[in-house]
Amino acid sequence: MGNNDEDNLIVASDEDQTDLSAAEDTLSLAGALTGSQKSISQPPDIPGYRIVGLLGEGGMGAVWEAEQDRPRRRVALKVMRREHQVDELHSRLFHREAETLARLKHPNIAAIYETGHTEEGRDYFAMELARGRTLDQWLSSRPQLIDADELDLRLRVFRTICAAVNYAHQRGVIHRDLKPSNIILGEGDHEASGSAAGTTESTVKILDFGLARITDTDVAATMVSEIGTIKGTLPYMSPEQARGDVESIDVRTDVYALGVILYEMLAGRRPYDIHRSALAEAVRVICFDSPRPLKDSWSGTRRSDADLETIVGKALEKESDRRYGSAAALSEDIDRYLASQPIMARPPSARYQLKKMVQRNRPMFAAVAAGLCGLLIAVVATTWGMLHARHAERRAARDAAIAQAVNDFLNDDLLAAVAPSTQKGRGKDVLMREVLDAAAETIDQTATADGRFADKPLVEAAIRSTLGGTYQRLGLYDAAEPHFLRALDIHEPLHGDDDPALAVALAELGSLYDLQGRYDEAEPLLVRALDIWIHTLGEEHRDTLWAMNALAKMYSRKGDSDKAEPLFLRCLEIARRVLSDHHPNTISTMASLANFYQEHGRFAEAEPLHLEALELRIRIYGEDSGDTMRAMNNL
């Protein structure tokens, strides 16, 4: 059973360039083609192209091999079936999207050379003619039983596919119709029948990036035949696509399709058996039923690996927030698996970490008894859990006491010092600067050797942090600095590099130096703060993401784009995955990355991020909010 539609046909197959028998099996999952689909007339003359022959056709149109006049080359000419009036709005939007797609310059993405409209009003695309086999054809030529070498080969091919998809995502282009028939392995990729020989990453090509969006024909519009049965792309649709929820389609939609492709590469079948289902039943299965466990479909010579099951399972999550946040994150876990490193999709428990270490160092651990290891790990995990819980309780009590002491100081000392009944506050309006100066004077007095905060350094540090932050927000940077310095001096000897409170103090002073343009002083403070947060809270914690974004912005202002860009990208990937696209921190990171691209003249990459951030801000805050107005100004 195949799975191709017209997108299979941008391939000049070595076996038969006009063989439609395979396509006829796959254009509809219900059965045969209609007579009109089997016979197609040559399109009217398109200036600059000479039609050589039909490569194939499908629900969206036909694909012809053509010879382009200038430059002289063979191309795949895709002429869309849908006819419409080419008004000014359609033409402008069409060409804007086409220009974005044409800027995708990647060795594993089939290039779009030119776009336009026929005299009949049909869109056409001149694309790179990729010669070779589709991924499903290539897989059918590979060994049915997957040994270690074959598994390594397939995962490396899949990793190459992920890299190309992620490249497009970073430039604001979502494929929305990924499937094996849209992935071509060049002529050298299928010569070896049982080994990795003859396979090179450079010959993998992904077809039709963004065409579903550019032609305004999303998958929901092309999946039902005349008799209400399923067209070929539904098995690779994410639940949000199958529901027709266009608003929820984002890069994680492509991640889901990659998960189906990975499952098929490992198991030789898809995770759902819907090829004979009616449309409503197939949509229900995709949206609600759990995929068939990979271990039940596994075609390897050894038992399926739990890590691969976890990777595939995360990519196929029903809720997009639970999937990998990007194709890069999915590819990273494949890299970790190939290197016998712990994958990110699984909580890195002590037992799991030890298991991966044993795999990497089998001779060293061959004599260690499994029972002893299990006992030791259980004791350590239990003890650590008890200590961690007690430590958390003590920290919560300490933080509550500090918060109460700070609140008392603000009410009893700061506000009382400038009340109208006092000398400082009598007979005039009190300025915020005067309030802060009075508080600073008070804290200096109470922090002396005989003052009431002499034995409460953490209370003093919290008050210093509050004063410094308020001075900073007023633009009084010189007044803020001594308070941040004092807070850091207090935290440094008390905590060391194992307490987030020290990270806060480092980040506050580093951010102040960043605002002052003192980047060489800011960098080590922000780097150290980020390291502490990653170590103590994990990379996905909101405080960690804030620090990551702050450090990236500092690098950007400093002019160190090589360090700024990967931090922005990593921060945005985690924020999308952990916080969702609608979280304010995610939107802020999105805008920061867009501004970075804009400042470096990379407008094609900046625009889609600015547009996405603006759309989200309008939806969340409304058109009249300050954040929304600033986002409009950025565009």
As annotated, the active-site residues are 177
Output DSSP code: residue 79: E
Give the position of tokens 């990273």: 332
Output DSSP code: residue 6: G
Bridging pattern class, strands 130-134 and 49-57: unpaired
The b/e string for 436-473 (b: 16+ C-beta within 10 A; e otherwise) is: bbbbbebbeebbeeeeebeebbbbbbbbbbbbbbbbbe
Contacts with 191 (C-beta within 8 Å, 6 or more apart), sequence order:
197, 198
Contact between 262 and 158 (Cβ < 8 Å): yes
Contacts with 621 (C-beta within 8 Å, 6 or more apart), sequence order:
627, 628
Q: In what order do the strands lie in the sheet with 61-68?
A: 49-57, 61-68, 73-83, 122-128, 112-117
Give the position of tokens 């951030």: 613
Contact between 157 and 142 (Cβ < 8 Å): no
CA gap 167, 171 in Å, rounded: 7
Q: How far is CA 221 from CA 128, 168, 230, 248, 458, in A?
A: 26, 23, 11, 16, 62
Neighbours of 160 (CB within 10 A): 22
Tokens of 363: 């001779």
Helix, strand, coil distribution of the chain in percent, nearest 5 = 60, 10, 30
φ, ψ (nearest 5 deg) of residue 68: -85, 140
Contact between 254 and 174 (Cβ < 8 Å): yes
Tokens of 612: 């996405």
CA gap 49, 127 in Å, rounded: 12
Tokens of 567: 């931090």
Helix (H) or strand (E) holding 380, with range, is helix 370-409
